[in-house]
Structure 1
Amino acid sequence: MSKEPPARYPNFVVNKHTFTMNTLLWILQGFLALTFAYSGFMKSSQEREKLVSAGQTGVANLSYPIIRFIGISELLGAVGITVPWLTGILHILTPVSAVCFAAIMVMAMRIHYRRGEYWSVTLNVLLFAASVFVAYARFREI
């Protein structure tokens, strides 16, 4: 493997540790993007009752405009956590999207905790941790 990164891939690395970390970050970014894209699509296109029956019980007491806003935010975040880093354009948007996902998870934890849905809180904590890790690591690379 050449020591010089190809011009087309400015983030190409040959250090094994850095390569492993970058791979882990891409796996987490892909997982977060898919998770939030699915959730965002559902929230921006489905009725509240269908969302609740599909397991997204946190929206039960939210107004439709708030549900739609959260859904659109999640869809935009799914794009923002992957596309900027992939294209090399506006890298800052990737960790900013991860921070926004973490903020959404804090609000979701609060809602689910008040409803006594501790399993959902656990999932929110895991998504929060993944988001914070991606944000921290990608901010360090900028």
Structure 2
Amino acid sequence: MNLALWTAAGLLAVVALVGGISKAFVPKENLAEAPGGEWTEDARVGFVKSLGVLELLAAVGLTLPAVVGIAPVLVPVTAVCWILLMVGAMITHLRHGGFNRFVVLNMAYLALAAFIAWGHSGLGSFTS
């Protein structure tokens, strides 16, 4: 269980890091041209950058507290926040293109985050 939680948290942290870097540092116009980026056409630059920063914080929050052993409760809290972010992402993708591969991908990320949150509810943990 411990290995599965670390793997899920690591994978989700990489996803959050890549998504955060792209949203925080790539110009909005370039994001709009990328596959799945059509939602940025209606969004303000500050909103897109804020989402990028939140994703960067999620990458840190999914792994660092457990690695250093300081406030490991932040890992499941971050996972729950990621679930909320993915619900918003799915709604946004549904509004801009119907049910597509990005909605399915967001569902997979949501499932990983739910597993991480569940695993830290006492049924599994990073320390064992």
TM-score by length of 2: 0.89
Structure 1 residue 86, shift from structure 2 partner: 1.1
Provide the residue aligned with 1:8 in structure 2: none
1:41 paired to 2:24: no
Give the number of the structure with larger relative contact order, counting CA–CA contacts within 8 Å between residues 6 or more apart.
Answer: 2
Structure exhibiting the larger radius of gyration computed from Cα positions: 1
Percentage of identical aligned residues: 34
Alignment CA distance shift 1:139-1:60 (3 Å): farther
Aligned-residue offset at 1:61: 1.4
* Post-superposition offset of 1:96: 0.8
Whichever residue aligns with residue 4 of structure 2, its letter is: L
Query: Structure 1 runs of 4+ off > 4 angstroms?
Result: none
CA RMSD of aligned residues (A): 1.4
Structure 1 unaligned spans of 5+: 1-20
Q: For 1:45-56, what aligned pairs fall within 5 Å after superposition?
A: 45-56=25-36
Secondary structure at the aligned position of 2:72 is classed as coil
2:67 corresponds in structure 1 to: 86
Work out whether residues 93 and 102 of structure 2, in 8 Å CA contact, stay in contact via their aligned partners in 1: yes
List gaps (5 residues or longer) in structure 2: none
What is the aligned length?
A: 122
* Structure 1 residues 72-124: Cα deviation after superposition (integer angstroms, max 9, x where no partner): 00001100100001111101111111111111100000010112251110001
* Greater helix content: 2
